[in-house]
Chain A
Amino acid sequence: MSMEQFFTRLEERVSKSPVKWFAPLIEATHSFLLTPGRATRRGPFVRDNIDLKRYMFVVVVALLPVIAMSIYNIGRQAGITEFWPAIWKGLMVMVPVIVVSYAVGGFWESIFAKIRGHEINEGLLVTGILFPLTLPPTIPLWQVAIGISFGIIIGKEVFGGTGMNLLNPALTARAFLFFTYPGNISGDRVWAAVDGFSTATPLATAAATDGNAIEALRAGSMDYSWLNMFNGHIPGSMGETSTLAILIGAAILLITGIGSWRIMLATLLGGLGMASIIYFLAGSSATGMMSLPPTYHLVMGGFMFGTVFMTTDPVSAAGTNTGKWLYGILIGVMVILIRTFNPAYPEGMMLAILFGNVFSPLIDHFVVQANIKRRLRHV
């Protein structure tokens, strides 16, 4: 029996059995193992080899350096100095979170695919890994399950499924946990994967100080030097700590053309620009966030992780090229404004991106109107 026959029979049996709600999962496995092999009926008669599976797979590949660094760093932050034991610790913490995220996500995707009569969308591949990376290593697994359920149902499926969603599902999931269980995920404190340890995040440290932000960063129990924060030798959400690993991922996304360079650059410019304006207007006597040099924003909190992997989600971002610039700049500016002027949220990236998501249809609307006006003017 060939693999194709095996799956065809399995799909038939499952679709008639009480567990028919999971038929889409079997179909999805089938189509992951074997290409559909359907032929073109109309021109163009040849088609590019890329499909959404490859597309999402590349994003996952781009996340691998981040995941690797994250696993190592979880162990290190738990106080394990040797390499392999640190890795082991990291795996023990991270793998269950990822498994729960994918399993619960897959459960909901399968049910909605069955209701809507379509196949499971590959977007889950990315959502299911992005979400865990935004969580602290101490996150309870039941919260992971609730979070991803909220992200997929409210963040995506109520809008009509992948492609129709307004918000990034992974960030929606995180935002849900952030507001419902602030004791476990709040932005001002972080945990390492050992009992009872928690410390202020770099951003919270910089926001809380009455003196110069850089000095405060170096003075606490953690050495929040720029280089340490760039390399990721700091506690934090699992995926956000190592700017270095994120930049490798960014390079993969840009070389393959999967991530929008416009959005990444615009967010970077928006953030740097806003931070520079504040920094230079505040002057040398400034304290707290006002005294934080612009480049520090890039290595602190979720700025780079969000810029590279979250703002570029092609569904929730602006779709037009001009719109992508505006969308990125808006997010970059918003992050810095939230971080600097809103004491309740020292980390601003999640809210800034969700804010950008909400505005992206409006941004696109104006770009489309401009296109229409150009055409009318020509007449």
Chain B
Amino acid sequence: MAHFKVKRGYNIPLAGEPERVLVKGTRPKQAAVQPADIRNFRPQVEVGPGAAVKVGSVLFVDKKHPEIRFLSPVAGTVNEVVRGERRRIMRVVVDAASGDDYEEFPKYSDDEIKRLNWEKVQSALLQGGLWPTIRQRPYSNIAALEATPKAIFISGMETAPLAADPNFYMQGLKADFQSGIYALQHLTEGKIHLSVAPDQQDSFDGVDGVEQHTFAGPHPAGNVSVQVYHIDRLRAGEIIWYISPFDVARIGQLLKNGHYPNETIVAVAGPELEKRQYVKTISGASMVSILPEKLDDDEQRVLSGTVLAGTNASLEGFIGFYDHTVTVIPEVQKRRLLGWLSPGFNLASYGGTFFSSLIRNKKFVQNTDINGDERAFVSTGNYEKVMPMDILPVHLAKAVLVEDIELMEKLGILEVAPEDFALCTYICPSKIEFGEIIEHGLTLIEKEG
């Protein structure tokens, strides 16, 4: 057990935190699983429109490794396979029937789980559709089947703005979480590291088989990269795995109940929502089932995930495969007159160039406005202040822009993920898309290597 204090970082003062209330959501009429949520993934769809599926029936598999399966979260009929640009498969949508009909998987008691081995746990997770919940670094892809991770990291805390708090939605799931940990122990010869916030950890206290750490400090203290960097830094050639605490509990549920665990909890957050709360629903549920009906898509942006690391979803969309937060923020509506001249009592900013910086602890309604045009890099020195790792953000980004793979690796690109640069992008006066640049760099290395 170790305590870490992350000093560099920033909590974006965004209004609209979810209240700590858990309600049961209405049963979604549709649910979907989205290959687009998974990095560097090509699906092979196994069902067509009209096919009858149970909870846990295969919808699609990994083209390269067909053992990696994605299962239906509801029982019902496949509605459509949605394709995007260049016929890329975006999602498989299933119409939910009234009842739940489950595919059956093997069941184990806790003692039996403890006596399983690598092969048995892996095949149970592959068959039960939860293998993809384990991802690896570098690259954030689904855990490679033959890989041996030096450790598994679980972040039991979230520091991104408006993000669902794992300590809250993990309440009452300690037994399942514990069973999941027993299963994960077979998958690594190293340790399982669980990081929690210092004041929000009762859902995780006393769990057996993990090394528990606390991380204090602003975002991105809750990011896996930051925790790995502080606990057991990634060296060249090494890999680690990471998984969300909720998915650890789902592994426990799968192994104990023999059913694909299709329930999830998401926080619905956003500055202009009337009801901001945690909703218990089905994983991959349609957004309409958890958001207010009168929401106007033109005025509000619906995101699956947080404002930092989420993806565009829209009201017709679905909850993403890895997401526990649904964020709704106002869409930018108009061009403002002389925006650069305004005193800015209501304008959020990291630095001190607006009068809003005189008001402490104020939260702001922020919309999707980029608030400026893209310009050349200006080394303000602020990027380093929001990067709690020994990484030089500007130099790394420039190495990617000139596609110098050797230099990127030397500057530590394999230790990071695009989400770690979200704050750099947020505070950038030149409006540089750091996340996009880092993603490009990682993709380049994967292709060349």
Binding site for B on A (CB under 8 A): 3-4, 31-55, 57-58, 119, 121-122, 161-164, 255-258, 260, 262, 314-315, 317, 319-321, 324, 364, 367-368, 371-372, 374-376, 378-379
Contacts and interface: CB of A to CB of B under 8 A. Distances in A.
A50 B353 contact: yes
Given A35-B335, A50-B354, A319-B379, 10 more contacts: A34-B337, A35-B371, A36-B335, A45-B301, A51-B373, A51-B375, A52-B378, A163-B376, A258-B351, A371-B411
B177 to A, nearest CB: 28
Interface in B349-387: 349-354, 366-373, 375-382, 384
Contacts of B161: 46
B400 interface: no
Interface residues of B, number: 74
Contacts, number: 212
Contact of A52 (B301, B329, B382, B430): B430
Contact of A39 (B332, B340, B419): B332
A163 B14 CA distance: 31
Nearest to A164: B376
A43 B422 contact: yes
A31 B395 CA distance: 29
B371 A50 contact: yes
A40 B422 CA distance: 13
A46 to B, nearest CB: 4
B353 A58 contact: yes
A37 B332 contact: yes
B301 to A, nearest CB: 6
A54 B372 CA distance: 9
Contacts of B372: 35-36, 47, 50-53
A162 B233 CA distance: 37
A34 B336 contact: yes
Nearest to A55: B429
B108 interface: no
Interface in B318-356: 327, 329, 331-332, 334-341, 344, 347-354
Contacts of A315: 376, 378-379
Contacts of A164: 376
Contacts of B410: 372, 375-376
A43 B379 contact: no
A317 B394 CA distance: 14
A284 to B, nearest CB: 42
Most chain A CB within 10 A, of B327, B329, B392, B422, is at: B392
Given A39-B331, A46-B14, A256-B352, A262 B381 contact: yes
B353 A258 contact: yes
A368 B410 CA distance: 10
